[in-house]
Amino acid sequence: MAHRRHRLVVEVDGSAAAQSALEWALRQARWLDATVLVVTAWDTPAARRGAPQNVGATVVGGALAESPPERRRRVTALQQRCIAQARAAVGPRNLPVIGRELVSADPVTAVRQAGRRADMLVVGGGDRPLPNTVATGLRRSRVPVVVVTPPQLALDPVETVAVETVAVGV
């Protein structure tokens, strides 16, 4: 019988919380012998309005905004940078297979779509509760959802310790 590798899906948006989630997912995948799919949403105002994605640069608030191809290049570079930083933080030994996916949608839709092919969803949580739209979208997940907050430094300057919080919901 063939061994099916588990798949962890992690959403990356360049925030410290998402970076912590990616690092956590890489460590967990190494332990589980799983693969990691890094999903980055690159929602544009045009996508939200239902406008075609292949138009040239647009004017927003009197200023020239980036065109969809420029935004896609920027988001691709951001995703690659986040993966490189996570690889460096986790270390080179037994790194899991990492897949990348860019989705032209809002982050909740992107994660939910990718989550259909996942055994676990991993998202970054900040110092505030997740927005209602995100929480509602993740509540409907059919797989466990892990919310990782970034390490925060202890308030005591003599004893500075990084603390990472992980909350898991099924």
Spans of all domains in the chain: 7-47+59-169
Could you tell me the pLDDT band of residue 131, with boundaries at 50, 70 and 90? low
The model's pTM is 0.75
Rounded-to-integer distance, Cα 107 and Cα 3, Å: 31
Class of domain 7-47+59-169: alpha beta
**Is pLDDT larger for residue 168 or for residue 125?**
125
What mean pLDDT comes out for the span 25-44? 89
Residue 43 predicted with pLDDT over 90:
no
What is each CA distance from 12 to 28, 61, 81, 105, 155, in whole angstroms?
16, 27, 11, 13, 28
Contacts of 164 (CB under 8 A, 6+ apart): 20, 24, 148, 149, 150, 151
pLDDT in tens, 57-111: 444 444 446 777 888 888 999 999 999 999 999 998 888 999 999 988 887 788 8
